[in-house]
Amino acid sequence: MEYFIDVVLPIPLEKLFTYSITQAEGENLKPGMRVAVPFGKSKIYTGLVHRVHNEPPQAYEAKEIDRILDEHPIVNPFQLKHWQWIAEYYMCTFGEVFRSAVPSAFLLESETLILLSTEAVIEESALEDDEFLVFEALQHQSSLKVHEVSSIVDRKNILPVLNRLIEKNVILLKEEIYEQYKPKLVKYVQLGKEYLSEEKLEALLTDLSRAPKQSQVVLALFQLQAVSQKPIKVTELEQESGASKAVIKALVDKQILEEYYIRRDRVDYEGDGGDEEVKSLNEYQEKALSDIHKGFENKKPVLLHGVTSSGKTEVYVQLIEDCINKGKQALYLLPEIALTTQLIGRLQEYFGEKVSVYHSKYNVQERVEVWNNVLHQKSKAQVVIGARSSLFLPFSKLGLIIIDEEHEGSFKQFDPAPRYHARDAAIVLGNLHGSQVLLGSATPSIESYLNAKTGKYGFAEIKRRFGNVLMPEIELVDLKEQSRKKLMKGHFSERLFLKIEEALKEGEQIILFQNRRGYAPIVECTTCGVSPQCPNCDVSLTYHQYKKQLRCHYCGYHTALPESCQACGSPTLDTKGFGTEQVEKELETLFPDAKTWRMDLDTTRGKHGYEKIITAFEQQEIDILVGTQMLTKGLDFRNVSLVGIMNADSLLNFPDYRAHERCFQLLTQVAGRAGRTQKRGKVIVQSYNPYHQILTQMSTNDYEGMFKEQLYEREQYKYPPKNRIIKITFKHKDYNRLNEAAEWFAKGLRNSLAGNVLGPEYPPVARIRNQYLKNVLVKIPKSTSVGGVKKGIRRLEKSFNAIAPYRSVRIIYNVDHV
């Protein structure tokens, strides 16, 4: 009988590829194991086995695989199913899901070199035939590549041979095989074996009496060993003895001390937490918890609507505790920017080492470690807290999924494919595992709230802040009036200015929100009106004063600020609009004694950039923190009494059907940072439009009113949640070709979908990185089958690609675009 496998390749291929394997391989290979396979003329890819079977492919001759990369599956059947769903629902390929789901180290094809071991004393007769062949080849050649070994022994799976050769100390690998994952090793010290007996030890100490520094180190080591059973790190010994590295090295050289390495997981939690009792809940939290359980009993996801600072996190903690007590895994999903040490620290206090963190700021090594810990159901990854990609981890006993800040748009992956919504994909994942799913937010999305209202989800709520803390008082300030009366100081109204002054006097902290980074989004010549544009994108360059640069926020292009207008030559350049940098500058003049800091993309690069600012603010080393929406997320600061929204209008005027919902959410979340302790917090919202419905709703905490009005509008204009939408983006460097192609496609869609096709239209930024963009929006009533519509779109795409000039136009599907 012939044996075959269907393989998922990490590239956008519509179909799986079939390869032929030997019977022995067929007996070993299981779905979820990786294989290296040839593709095209000369490429080798890491592929994932999807199915092992005996059916030769019809359309082509199956090639043989290159080699097997795993001894056990690294992806489980739950994942394969889930990924399949994601690919189908979000209109991308399985390969694209695979590619973004696994840590990139799993896809690397490193050039592993096989070398003869330098200390090899080889007993040739002890080698088996295939081992000998490799050994012999290495006599003639200083190194071999893996595929060369493969052809020497005439076998694809050469791992066993190599492993045996390594065990027999014949060969060395000059790199981990196939993947660049290297566990981190930590250096420890202990007393040399020579000195373990008391006699020797005494002699040693006498000896060392003439070398006081060295004897101090030895004594310090004793002391450390006496208080702790744990291995002793070199760094600890340095600290304890006060001796330099050189002294310790001298002792190691004399073999009095011995260094050794232990593999430590990089994402280790080093505190001694984990013993903190979970807090007992107050009556409102208890009520919410019992409603949550009711929903779970009915096998439904549950939405928890709890105002900011109502103690949602403590409710989550209870659920997590239940979950791990049952021996199951828990996943705590958060938007990337809400993943702070604050929250991680809080969870670690309760669950200690059981908490693992998984997100994009962690490097490949760290991600591989979490992956493996989840795969092998290690207790140290029993609770995973992570951003959207943690959905792809190899859970096999997933008991609970919490989706915190469920309303956050950043749960939707924008680019590249799969353009999935982590909240929705998490609900599907929960279904596969039969796990409990909880969505939490102070400002639920219209979708989720509707689902709760219609009984599709269970529902729980907490309307009060914990500890009877009052909701902050929100005041709207009319910027038009303030300007007319000449009361503005820079971008600060008189009200806001006075309130800041007051708060500073009381020693309280202040958060100021402006949803734009940089100094000013536009530089304009007051003589001729021209403003510098990005050469690659259709957008004005943002002025960053700190670096005296103009920057494009879409492609990263930057240039020095010119001295004079490049169109007319006059030196009359002025700025329009303002960003966080300008607010910070103004503060320095208005409140020279206050310590001001800025938190936006420009100040938080690097793994810990963000945390440093948060910690400094927490420790009250900063009085005023200016920032973008980064500072809205789940932060719990004790001493903030005032929050100022510099300009609410830019949020309201966003050209998007969700702008109003989002404005309400964002402002409510920022406002929620104020007054989280006894004193009532104050929020000042500056706007040219203070009577706007959304601002009124936000200032009176009228979520329900906002929900009803938005739902009504969405229904009128056929937007979600009553309809589904698929946004189709066309992309090409040639303007005319793009227009023609997009028109053709839209016409085709209209023929089959009648009135539910909008566009093609240019997005607000119609060219990015020299590619023109055009969007078509397909609206699908809930009564119509989405599957059918997607099939229709795919069919149209086939005809589209058959038209030669259109073929180079990229088509991007964004299902449930947010």
Which two tokens mark 374?
A: 């989840």
DSSP track, 762-807: --SS-EETTEEEEEEEEEEETTS-HHHHHHHHHHHHHHHHHSGGGT
Q: Give me the half-sphere count of Cα atoms (radius 13 Å) on the Cβ side of residue 135.
A: 22
Check: CB of residue 574 under 8 Å from CB of residue 554.
no
**How far apart are CB 694 and ligand ADP at their closest, in Å?**
22
Check: CB of residue 511 under 8 Å from CB of residue 573.
no
Residue 347 or 541 having the CB closest to Zn ion: 541
Among 24, 203, 567, 803, binds Zn ion (CB under 5 A): 567
Give the per-residue contact string, 251-290, with ligand ADP (x = CB under 6 A; - = no). Answer: ----------------------------x-xx--x-----
Determine the Cα–Cα distance for residues 411 and 439; give it in Å rounded to an integer.
12
Q: Give me the half-sphere count of Cα atoms (radius 13 Å) on the Cβ side of residue 263.
A: 6
Among 18, 46, 150, 308, binds ligand ADP (CB under 6 A): 308
**How far apart are CB 281 and ligand ADP at their closest, in Å?**
5
Among 466, 543, 578, 730, binds ligand ADP (CB under 6 A): 466
The answer to whether residue 636 forms part of the interface with ligand ADP (CB under 6 A) is yes
Determine the Cα–Cα distance for residues 674 and 475; give it in Å rounded to an integer.
13
Contact region with ligand ADP (CB under 6 A), list: 128-136, 236-244, 303-311, 688-696? 303-311
- What does 306 bind: Zn ion, ligand ADP, none (CB cut-off 5 to 8 Å by kind)? ligand ADP
**How far apart are CB 292 and ligand ADP at their closest, in Å?**
14
CA distances from 642 to 206, 503, 589, 621 (A): 66, 7, 20, 16
- What does 528 bind: ligand ADP, Zn ion, none (CB cut-off 5 to 8 Å by kind)? Zn ion
Contact region with ligand ADP (CB under 6 A), list: 309-317, 379-387, 551-559, 732-740? 309-317
Counting residues that bind ligand ADP (by CB under 6 A) gives 14
Contact region with Zn ion (CB under 5 A), list: 26-34, 136-144, 507-515, 526-534? 526-534
Residue 190 or 533 having the CB closest to Zn ion: 533
Check: CB of residue 149 under 8 Å from CB of residue 178.
no
The answer to whether residue 310 forms part of the interface with ligand ADP (CB under 6 A) is yes
- What does 281 bind: Zn ion, ligand ADP, none (CB cut-off 5 to 8 Å by kind)? ligand ADP
Q: Calculate helix-pair angle for 341-351, 609-618, nearest 10 degrees.
A: 80
- What does 22 bind: ligand ADP, Zn ion, none (CB cut-off 5 to 8 Å by kind)? none
Among 312, 433, 553, 673, binds ligand ADP (CB under 6 A): 312
Among 307, 462, 537, 613, binds Zn ion (CB under 5 A): 537
- What does 312 bind: Zn ion, ligand ADP, none (CB cut-off 5 to 8 Å by kind)? ligand ADP
The answer to whether residue 443 forms part of the interface with ligand ADP (CB under 6 A) is no
Residue ranges of the annotated binding site for Zn(2+) are 525, 528, 534, 537, 552, 555, 565, 568
Check: CB of residue 50 under 8 Å from CB of residue 27.
no
Residue 310 or 723 having the CB closest to ligand ADP: 310
| Cis amide leading into 416 (omega within 30) | yes
Determine the Cα–Cα distance for residues 408 and 440; give it in Å rounded to an integer.
11
Check: CB of residue 669 under 8 Å from CB of residue 633.
yes
**How far apart are CB 538 and Zn ion at their closest, in Å?**
9
Determine the Cα–Cα distance for residues 180 and 172; give it in Å rounded to an integer.
16
Residue 203 or 567 having the CB closest to Zn ion: 567
Q: Supply φ then ψ for residue 302, to 5 degrees.
A: -120, 140
Contact region with Zn ion (CB under 5 A), list: 273-281, 331-339, 568-576, 787-795? 568-576
The answer to whether residue 313 forms part of the interface with ligand ADP (CB under 6 A) is yes
Residues facing residue 190 across a β-bridge: 258
CA 261 to chain centre: 31
- What does 573 bind: ligand ADP, Zn ion, none (CB cut-off 5 to 8 Å by kind)? none
Residue 112 or 309 having the CB closest to ligand ADP: 309
Contact region with Zn ion (CB under 5 A), list: 67-75, 275-283, 523-531, 588-596? 523-531
The answer to whether residue 51 forms part of the interface with ligand ADP (CB under 6 A) is no
In this structure, which long-range contacts are made by residues 552-559, counting pairs with CB atoms below 8 Å and at least 24 apart in sequence? Answer: 553/517, 553/518, 554/765, 554/768, 554/769, 555/768, 555/769, 559/532
The amino acid at 727: K
CA distances from 713 to 445, 453, 660, 717 (A): 15, 18, 11, 6
The answer to whether residue 314 forms part of the interface with ligand ADP (CB under 6 A) is yes
- What does 587 bind: ligand ADP, Zn ion, none (CB cut-off 5 to 8 Å by kind)? none
What residues from 270 to 299 belong to the interface with Zn ion (CB under 5 A)? none
- What does 534 bind: ligand ADP, Zn ion, none (CB cut-off 5 to 8 Å by kind)? Zn ion
Q: CB neighbours (10 Å) of residue 527?
A: 16
Residue 34 or 676 having the CB closest to ligand ADP: 676
**How far apart are CB 451 and ligand ADP at their closest, in Å?**
21
Residue 552 or 725 having the CB closest to Zn ion: 552
Kindly tell me the burial class for residue 185, based on how many C-beta atoms sit within 10 Å of its own C-beta (0-12, 13-18, 19 or more).
exposed
Among 311, 335, 518, 521, binds ligand ADP (CB under 6 A): 311
The answer to whether residue 554 forms part of the interface with Zn ion (CB under 5 A) is yes
- What does 21 bind: ligand ADP, Zn ion, none (CB cut-off 5 to 8 Å by kind)? none
Which two tokens mark 644?
A: 């100022």
State the maximum Cα–Cα separation within the chain, in Å, rounded to a whole number. 99
Residue 420 or 513 having the CB closest to ligand ADP: 513
Residue 554 or 762 having the CB closest to Zn ion: 554
- What does 196 bind: Zn ion, ligand ADP, none (CB cut-off 5 to 8 Å by kind)? none
Determine the Cα–Cα distance for residues 761 and 642; give it in Å rounded to an integer.
42
Determine the Cα–Cα distance for residues 494 and 539; give it in Å rounded to an integer.
33
The answer to whether residue 536 forms part of the interface with Zn ion (CB under 5 A) is yes
The answer to whether residue 765 forms part of the interface with Zn ion (CB under 5 A) is no
The answer to whether residue 309 forms part of the interface with ligand ADP (CB under 6 A) is yes
**How far apart are CB 662 and Zn ion at their closest, in Å?**
24
Residue 7 or 534 having the CB closest to Zn ion: 534
Among 10, 306, 352, 418, binds ligand ADP (CB under 6 A): 306
Determine the Cα–Cα distance for residues 549 and 735; give it in Å rounded to an integer.
29
Determine the Cα–Cα distance for residues 812 and 793; give it in Å rounded to an integer.
12
Among 80, 452, 534, 651, binds Zn ion (CB under 5 A): 534
| Cis amide leading into 160 (omega within 30) | no
Determine the Cα–Cα distance for residues 11 and 497; give it in Å rounded to an integer.
55
Among 262, 278, 568, 803, binds Zn ion (CB under 5 A): 568
Residue ranges of the annotated binding site are 525, 528, 534, 537, 552, 555, 565, 568
The answer to whether residue 557 forms part of the interface with Zn ion (CB under 5 A) is yes
DSSP track, 618-685: HTT--SEEEESGGGGSS---SSEEEEEES-SHHHHT-SSTTHHHHHHHHHHHHHTTS--SSSPPEEEE
564 sits in the region (left: phi over 0; alpha: psi -120 to 50; else beta) called beta
- What does 308 bind: ligand ADP, Zn ion, none (CB cut-off 5 to 8 Å by kind)? ligand ADP
What residues from 114 to 153 belong to the interface with Zn ion (CB under 5 A)? none
Identify the three-state secondary structure at position 95: helix
The answer to whether residue 444 forms part of the interface with ligand ADP (CB under 6 A) is no
Site for ligand ADP, rule CB under 6 A: 279, 281-282, 285, 306, 308-314, 466, 636
Which parts of this chain interact with Zn ion (CB under 5 A)? 525, 527-528, 534, 536-537, 552, 554-555, 557, 565, 567-568
